[in-house]
């Protein structure tokens, strides 16, 4: 068994663990490249600087908003895919999966055609006489959130649909037999049974959101700085690798804590 695991372990070790350890070391250096002097000053600066605190809060706030939005929008679609007897179900499935075949860069840039000052929405509103000057629909937190919901919705839908499809329909039927209304049936029977799918989808969407780069860059036009953009600025533009590494460790630790919480939730929930 160990022999079978070795190639995978070597790859993960070389491609994931080793770079993480290097990043951890660099985050404690005063300067890189340069003389080796260890310090916690970079971490102290991050915790003390309102600029980085704002960026961190904005990043996790974005994660929360996008996760909730994809859950609310995605659950009915997942329900349809898993439960509907309609013959158009497969087309809807294709519609959900198809965007994943297109690069996220292309999909994000495509939003400019809709939201730009010379975009479709503004041109339509101006031609209808509703507005005279174009609205600024990009360059904001919410335009970035909309773009991310569009990009990450398939992940939420597929996660929920996978679990919904495995739920025995006889549970719902039994609830109906015992007098439950459709709403009560959903809240007390179906939703609790599908919580694992919702949790899995939420973790995936949240982790991808807090690490996203191209969508905030393009739709935010420099006005919505999130952790990934700040890490790029520190590493590439300012060549301050220790600060960039410290930000990277912050993001990594937050993601690992979330995964750990998910693991604990899952193990307690399945025991019930």
Partner 1 sequence: MTPESNIAHAFKPSTKRRALIKGLLAIGAGGASLLRFAEALADASAADVASITILSQPGSIPDLLRQATFPPFAKDYPKTEVKLEIATNAVGYPRMLTQRNNPAISGGMFNDVFTQRGRSDGMWIKMDPALTPNQKKLAEGLSTPGGLGFPFQLQPFGIMYNPDRVEEPKSWNDLWSDKLVGKVVMWDAYYDAYIMASYIAGKGMSVEEGVKLWAPHKANIGAWVNSPVVSEDLVSRGEMLMAPHWGANTMQAIATGKKVAFTLPKEGGVQWTGHAEACVGFPSGVTELTQRYLDIWLSDECQMTWITKGFFSPASSAVSVPEELKSNPAIVSAEQAMKRLIRPDFVTIGPEMPRLTGMIQRTLKG
Binding status of residue 51 toward partner 1 by CB under 8 A: yes
180 is an interface residue for partner 1 by CB under 8 A: no
Q: Is 110 in the site for partner 1 (CB under 8 A)?
A: no
CB neighbourhood size of 48 (10 A) = 10
Q: How far is the CB of 242 from partner 1 (least distance, A)?
A: 12
Between CA 104 and CA 129 the distance in angstroms is 34
199 within 8 A of 266, measured Cβ to Cβ? yes
The verdict on 139 binding partner 1 (CB under 8 A) reads yes
Query: Counting contacts by CB under 8 A, is residue 117 touching partner 1?
Result: yes
Out of 75, 80, 111, 241, the residue judged to bind partner 1 by CB under 8 A: 241
Is the Cβ of residue 117 or residue 255 nearer to partner 1 in the bound state? 117
Region from 11-19, 83-91, 179-187, 234-242 binding partner 1, contact rule CB under 8 A: 234-242
Look at the alpha carbons of 32, 38, 40, 41 in this order and tell me if their dihedral is positive or negative.
negative
Contact call for residue 221 and partner 1 (CB under 8 A): yes
With tokens 């994943």, the residue in question is 100
3-state secondary structure of 180: coil
* Residue closer to partner 1 (CB basis): 32 or 93: 32
d(CA 142, CA 120): 18
CA distance 111 to 123: 14
The footprint of partner 1 (CB under 8 A) covers: 33, 51, 54, 112, 116-118, 136, 139, 221-223, 225, 233, 235-241
């Amino acid at each position: 068994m160990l022999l079978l695991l070795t190639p995978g372990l070597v790859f993960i070790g070389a491609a994931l663990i080793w770079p993480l350890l290097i990043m951890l070391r660099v985050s404690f250096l005063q300067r890189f490249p340069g003389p080796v002097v260890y310090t916690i000053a970079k971490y102290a600066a991050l915790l003390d600087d309102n600029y980085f605190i704002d960026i961190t809060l904005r990043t996790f706030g974005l994660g929360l908003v996008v996760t909730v939005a994809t859950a609310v929008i995605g659950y009915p679609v997942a329900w349809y895919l898993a439960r509907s007897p309609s013959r158009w179900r497969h087309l809807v499935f294709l519609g959900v999966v198809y965007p994943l075949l297109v690069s996220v860069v292309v999909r994000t840039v495509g939003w400019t055609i809709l939201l730009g000052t010379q975009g479709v929405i503004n041109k339509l509103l101006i031609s209808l006489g509703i507005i005279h000057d174009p609205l600024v629909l990009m360059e904001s937190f919410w335009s970035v959130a909309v773009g991310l919901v569009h990009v990450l919705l398939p992940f939420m839908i597929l996660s929920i649909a996978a679990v919904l499809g495995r739920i025995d329909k006889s549970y719902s039927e039994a609830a109906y037999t015992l007098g439950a209304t459709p709403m009560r049936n959903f809240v007390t029977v179906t939703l609790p049974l599908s919580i694992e799918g919702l949790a899995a989808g939420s973790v995936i969407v949240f982790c991808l959101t807090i690490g996203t780069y191209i969508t905030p860059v393009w739709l935010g036009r420099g006005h919505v700085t999130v952790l990934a953009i700040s890490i790029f600025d520190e590493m590439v533009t300012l060549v301050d690798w220790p600060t960039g590494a410290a930000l990277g460790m912050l993001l990594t630790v937050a993601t690992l804590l979330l995964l750990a919480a998910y693991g604990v939730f899952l193990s307690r929930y399945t025991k019930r």
